[in-house]
Amino acid sequence: MELDSATLLDQILEEGLITPLFQPIYDLTTGHIYGYEALSRGPENTELFTPDVLFPFAQAQGRLHELELLCRERAISRFAELQLPGLLFLNVSASLLSSPDHQKGMTLAILKELGISQSNIVIELSEQHPYDQNGLTHQSVEHYRQMGFQVAIDDLGAGYSGLRLWSELRPNIVKLDKHFIEGIDRDQVKREFVRSIINIAQRLRCSLIAEGIEHQQELDQLLELGVRYGQGFFLQRPNVLPFTEPHEYLISQASQRRRFHNQHGETVQTLCRPSIFVESTRPLTDVAQLFKKNKDVFALPVLENGKPIGIIRRHALHELFSTPYGRALYENKPAIAIASTEVFIVESTVSLSSVSTMFTDQEADLLNNEILIVKEGLYLGIGHLKDLLKRITELKIQNATYSNPLTLLPGNVPINHEINHRLLAEQDFYVAYFDLNNFKPFNDYFGYAKGDAVIQLVGSILRSVASTDDNFIGHVGGDDFVVIFSEEDWCQKCHLILERFASEVTQFYEEQELLEGGIWTKSRDGEHTFFDLLSLAIGVVNPNPKVCDSHHFVAELAAQAKKSAKQRGGNQIYQQPYQYHYEEDIPVEQARCCS
């Protein structure tokens, strides 16, 4: 095999028999493509097809750097041919730079020929490759930085020296090792590590990418923690023809967050404070007098026909007038002459979360403190970054208080708010109340850890099936959930939820328990009793907004519908008929079941 593999490697290098694959890296907050990591495969159906075999063998043959340069050339060419959006991430071993095979300027020449800017290329450097023994150096990073490339450290956390490398090399991007991502939704320690890494990345103004996202629950947890970029099999596997469109699940989650903030969040107008301003034609000597009279004013908006067009900051005017001849040259010039346009001008209806995102996306050297707030373009007042951060922090604490800590879904207060909002708007909507059958005996028999995992499973399925712009998902508490549907296909989605649950809940049972169809354990009365496998009961109501005066009425109807569904046993959907007042017993002939 050694001889055959060596011959095959010769053929690969001579004939360029490398196939580039691309794995999308997504902006998890928007669902759009951030870039692609280029990966390489050898000839299919050969012993050198997989990278785990190909690269170590090339290293053993002393031809690693030849192979790496070939892979780089093929990846860049294919990236250009496919016209893929975003950044291209290229894996590079640091030892290549000291190799005689490395031709300085080769990558730049390829990029120039293909019309790709080097600012769109990210060089991924890692000391974790078993075939790279020379380690990362400052020269490795500076070599690429000087040519205009961005630099990323791969596999942060996979080795002992990851944080040291980060502090010494100061990369533009850090990729978090998949070890920290696997099972993060179930591991408090991993969550704390990732929170710490996020804080470090923010302070160093470094982008953070989570690698190895393989399950929806992991993705949901990363979104909750605030990780912005990610890649993994759940989003898309490496592919010869990768996706270029936004990711549907991420788009759905982003829409739901925007909608929640629009309906339940505050707008930037809450930060608005009246302030003095100057017209664009007013001489700078008057501006100086205004600053002198108003000691607590550090910035003056500059307006033209009632619309803000810039800002003059106290320190900038003071510095200008302090220079030789500065006052004499500028005091009679109009305010617009020195007004800075590097200022946020935001409509009063924009949510605080959106403004926060704007600040986060701003270049570090352009970061400023003022927010000029307008209504239909006309100046209202001024807000400040510190007030925004303070209010965002308060709202996060409030939202955390109102969210269920196990599933991170909105709790009772947001659920009630949503129902009242829809009733007041006289919307046509359906409230589906979900409850697990036989959950208490399951919890007693298997323990709370497995019980919590089942509750997380239900939350995950609801997110996956019911998350749209117009639906609302909440966790009442325990094993009770609510989905507020705006769509006419609520019944089909409920059936899909039942099918998914019936299929996926089997993972929590042993084979014998599945064959028997349940478990033997003590009942509430202490009797040894047989309990069927876990199932979901769904009670559905379609509230009449003309007679339902609050969420209390809807809650009573939904509880009654859920009770009827549970009485039927198994995975069932029961739809309560329209009611104008609460009734304990509904005639059977009036009851309607979703089918």
Per-residue pLDDT of the chain (595 residues; tens, 9 = 90+): 444 888 899 898 989 899 999 999 999 988 999 999 999 999 998 999 998 899 889 888 888 888 988 999 999 999 999 999 999 999 887 666 655 555 566 778 788 888 888 889 998 886 554 334 445 556 667 777 888 889 898 877 655 556 777 877 788 899 998 999 999 988 888 988 888 888 788 767 789 999 999 999 899 889 888 888 999 999 999 999 999 999 999 998 887 766 665 555 577 888 899 999 999 999 999 999 999 999 999 999 999 999 999 999 999 999 999 988 888 899 999 999 999 888 888 888 777 777 777 676 655 554 568 889 998 789 999 998 888 888 877 777 766 677 888 898 989 988 998 898 888 878 889 999 999 999 999 999 999 999 999 999 999 999 989 886 678 999 999 999 999 998 788 999 999 999 999 999 999 999 999 999 999 998 888 889 999 999 999 999 999 888 887 888 999 999 999 999 999 999 999 998 865 444 444 444 444 555 4
CATH number, domain containing residue 517: 3.30.70.270
pLDDT in tens, 180-201: 999 998 888 898 888 888 878 8
Among candidate residues 362, 391, 420, the one where a domain is terminated: 391
Q: Are residues 296 and 156 in the same domain?
A: no
Q: Is 71 inside a domain boundary?
A: yes
Residues 290 and 226 in one domain: no
Determine, yes or no, domain membership for 263. Answer: no
Q: 555 lies in a domain?
A: yes
| 238 and 136 inside one domain | yes
Q: Is residue 472 part of a domain?
A: yes
Question: What's the CATH code of the domain at 337?
Answer: 3.10.580.10
CB-based burial label for 576 (10 Å; 0-12, 13-18, 19+): buried
Is there a single domain that holds both residue 383 and residue 414?
A: no
Number of independent structural domains in the chain: 3
The C-alpha atoms of residue 412 and residue 279 are separated, in whole angstroms, by 50
**192 and 101 share one domain:** yes
Last residue of a domain, one of 246, 261, 296: 246
Determine the Cα–Cα distance for residues 442 and 437; give it in Å rounded to an integer.
Answer: 9
351 shares a domain with 226: no
Where in the sequence is the domain holding 169, given as residue range(s)?
2-246
| CA distance linking residue 244 with residue 23, whole number of Å | 10
Q: Tell me the C-alpha distance between 177 and 35, whole Å.
A: 18
Closest CA to 578 of 533, 534, 548: 548
Whether 209 maps to a domain, the answer reads yes
Q: Find tokens 């170590």 and name the residue.
A: 56
Tokens for 299?
């910035």
Which DSSP symbol is given to 586?
Answer: -
Q: Which of 142, 82, 75 is nearest to 67 (CA)?
A: 75
Three-state secondary structure call for residue 316: helix
275, 236: one domain: no
Identify the CA nearest to 418 among candidates 469, 461, 474, 466.
Answer: 474
CA distance 543 to 562: 15
Task: Retrieve residue 242's tokens.
Answer: 């990768």
Burial category of 546 from C-beta neighbours within 10 Å (exposed 0-12, middle 13-18, buried 19 and up): exposed
For residues 239 and 321, membership in a common domain is answered with no
Position 252 in a domain: no
Sign of the four-CA dihedral 293, 294, 297, 302: negative
473 φ/ψ angles, rounded to the nearest 5 degrees: -115, 130
In a domain, 544, yes or no: yes
Residue 557 per-residue DSSP state: H
Question: CA geometry: angle at 370 spanning 367 and 372, to 5°?
Answer: 125
Asked which of 326, 361, 391 is the last residue of a domain, the reply is: 391
Q: Collect contacts of 138-147 with beta carbons under 8 A, ≥24 apart.
A: 138/168, 138/169, 139/97, 140/94, 140/97, 141/169, 141/170, 141/171, 143/97, 147/107, 147/108, 147/118
| C-alpha of 302 from chain center | 37
For residues 370 and 407, membership in a common domain is answered with: no
pLDDT 10s digits, 68-92 = 889 999 999 999 999 999 999 998 8
Is 258 among the domain residues? no
Residue 179 burial (C-beta neighbours within 10 Å; 0-12, 13-18, 19+): middle
* CATH number of the CATH domain containing 180: 3.20.20.450
**What is residue 247's DSSP assignment?**
P
* Eight-class DSSP state of 364: G
Residue 582: how many CB atoms within 10 A of its CB?
A: 11
Whether 384 and 439 share a structural domain = no
- Do 148 and 203 lie in one domain? The reply is yes
Same domain, 540 and 581: yes
